[in-house]
Chain A
Amino acid sequence: MSDMLNQNAHLNPKVFDEDVEQVPSRNGFGEGLVLAGDENPNVVGLCADLTGSTKMQAFADKFPDRFIQIGVAEQNLVTIASGMAAVGKIPFTSSYAMFSPGRSWEQIRTTICYNDRSVKIIGSHAGISVGPDGATHQAIEDIAITRVLPNMVVIAPADSIEARKATVAMAKNGKPTYMRLSREKVPVITTESTPFEIGQALVLYTGSDPEKKDDAAIIACGTMVHRALLAAKALKEHKISVRVINCHTIKPLDKKTILQAAEECGAIVTVEEHQIYGGLGSAIAEVVSQNFPVPMKIIGVEDHFGESGEPNELLEKFGLTVDTIVKAVTQVLRMKEK
């Protein structure tokens, strides 16, 4: 079925294989930060006592003079960074998403976004796939609270390679930027050749001849992109052609690609490892409903906290599965027919 992959996306040829390589997206951040640090001496790293698990350690090892240990103090993490950005540094801050931007939100709003300072907020361990740590550590509100802030850029990369590219790109974008990362391994979907540009969503898969219109579009971000691809493949076997879009940048949203999908497919399903309120699905709905309304289903955690468990047990419980996506597509197709 790989011939249905968008050739311009240059995806991993093994993307549908059982033994596709799996890597946490946070690893890509760790690699990207070292690259960004090589490119620009003003890049500095600040961490709130989670240097190993947020993958900032490689940067700290290579650039010890540009790494600053903040301790367990996320409000300080982002405000120290804000002050450094005010005098020309490009600070990357890392913690778990629940703590930053979770705990540090007002400081991010006032001292980073309102001041329009180029501080990078890296929130690792986002989503319920954090697993055994439980709901206190499972950030499923972070997209909502960051994308509501003026000046903020919000990115949720689909895999480690994309996270690496996003890290290098955000070091140059001059804007407050939030990137959410996952703890768990996810299949490597993209390759070195896959295009990446902040704000540019990418069509990964089309179920039909490019000249023809697909029956529906699945728009996903982060850990859910691979599941969206699996759902599209399953639907293809039922003669339903689906377009899969990796919407790695939630803000600024790629309205052109989204509205093109609405017009050409006429039905949309969104998938994210986040609350259904305020996240990717909401962002898409805001654009679609006001410009080209089509039937939509938003898949995410439905107004619930997470809990302890293995990642796949939790993703199953909260309906973030290939089956759920397939069902949602059939539902929007029925709504479209009415």
Chain B
Amino acid sequence: MISDHDIKQLELKANDIRKDIIEMLVAAGSGHSAGPLGMADVFTALYFNILNIDPDKPEMDERDRLVLSNGHICPVLYATLARRGYFPVSELKTLRKFGTRLQGHPHRGTLPGLETTSGPLGSGLSQACGMAYAGRMDGKKWWVYCLTSDAEHDAGNLWEAVLFAGKYKLNNLTVIIDRNNIQIDGFTENIMPLEPLKDKYEAFGWHVIEIDGNNVQAVIDACNAAKGIENRPVVIIAHTIPGKGVDFMENRFEWHGIPPNIQDVGGAPDKLHQAQEALKELRTLGGKIRSEHE
């Protein structure tokens, strides 16, 4: 059991990561805002509680593998890895700059802690399936996690992997879907409806857990519960609020693919003050930290 104190510490950590995200996006001048902010709690729960990893030994064989399939939310991955000790936090400001290890979409190569290259959507789950299948062949104890977006489920390759994991009963694989309901052109249910998503996964032979993805405790509990499910892959549908923590970004698909301070967006401060407002809000917590709120 994790204590209330520890949960609060994780929530504060997630908030630090959100501030990093805003700062790195402003420094980069391009990139995605809503998804990374929405997933900060999931990343914090995984990297600071769930995953068996060692930043000093990023390639150790027994590490759990986390595949980020929707590579465009990499600011949250980079910020989390830096906060976890894989590389200096100061490096975050090199995001998307010439010569950086923090490529616009993640590239496994020079940056420690990355398991794969991703960006083109729909291909991460099958790589995670390949890892899980091979790990099981060799009797490995490590676990495979795959983070995907909801809109990524428009892609055929992803469903090929869902079929595969169902057929081979990959019980060392946990998938977390960022169910934030937005994509570049609008709301997912308008662009290409995904519901009933839970029923679809169950029909493919998966065990489904639905949670509030902005609740660190719920994420931890779901990941631990997933490990107890035998003979089936597990998908955690994490309902998140895109832009979480910054009022004027929350649930606005306009913030999917842009950073603060680039353009005026309805309901947001003028473009010169967006980052300033966002950071102010995050610094004062703005009532966003769940354990203080309750």
Contact = CB atoms under 8 A, between A and B. Distances in A.
Interface of A: 44, 65-66, 68, 70-71, 73, 75-76, 79-89, 91, 106-107, 110-111, 114-116
B276 interface: no
Contact of B135 (A68, A79, A81, A87): A87
Interface string B135-167: 101101000000000000000110011011000
A83 B144 CA distance: 11
- Sort A-B residue pairs by CB-CB distance and give the 6 closest, nearest first: A83-B130, A76-B160, A79-B126, A83-B127, A73-B160, A80-B130
A81 B140 CA distance: 18
A111 B163 contact: no
Interface stretch (B19-27, B115-123, B224-232, B239-247): B115-123
B133 interface: yes
B257 to A, nearest CB: 19
Interface string B247-270: 000000000000000000000000
A305 B59 CA distance: 47
B127 A76 contact: no
Nearest to A106: B120
A77 to B, nearest CB: 9
A91 B129 CA distance: 14
A111 B134 contact: no
A140 B11 CA distance: 56
Nearest to B126: A79
A75 B157 contact: yes
Contacts of A89: 134, 137
B133 A68 contact: yes
B14 interface: no
B95 interface: no
A77 B118 CA distance: 17
A71 B126 contact: no
Contacts of A115: 108, 116-117
Interface of B: 65, 67, 107-109, 115-120, 122-123, 126-135, 137-138, 140, 156-157, 160-161, 163-164, 168
B132 to A, nearest CB: 8
Question: Would you call the interface of chain A mostly helix, strand, loop, or mixed?
Answer: helix
B123 A84 contact: no
B130 A88 contact: no
A114 B103 CA distance: 13
B127 A111 contact: yes
Nearest to B108: A115
20 contacts: A70-B164, A75-B160, A76-B164, A79-B161, A80-B126, A82-B116, A82-B126, A82-B130, A83-B132, A83-B134, A84-B130, A86-B65, A86-B115, A86-B116, A87-B130, A89-B134, A107-B123, A110-B119, A114-B107, A114-B117
Given A73-B160, A75-B157, A107-B123, A83 B129 contact: yes
B134 A88 contact: yes
Q: Which of B118, B133, B138 has the most CB of A within 10 A?
A: B133
A76 B109 CA distance: 23
A80 B129 contact: yes
B173 to A, nearest CB: 10
B156 A75 contact: yes
Nearest to B130: A83
B123 A110 contact: yes
Contacts of B129: 80, 83
Contacts of A70: 164
Contacts of A76: 126, 157, 160-161, 163-164
B126 A75 contact: yes
Contact of A87 (B117, B122, B131, B168): B131
A79 B130 contact: yes
Contacts of B115: 86
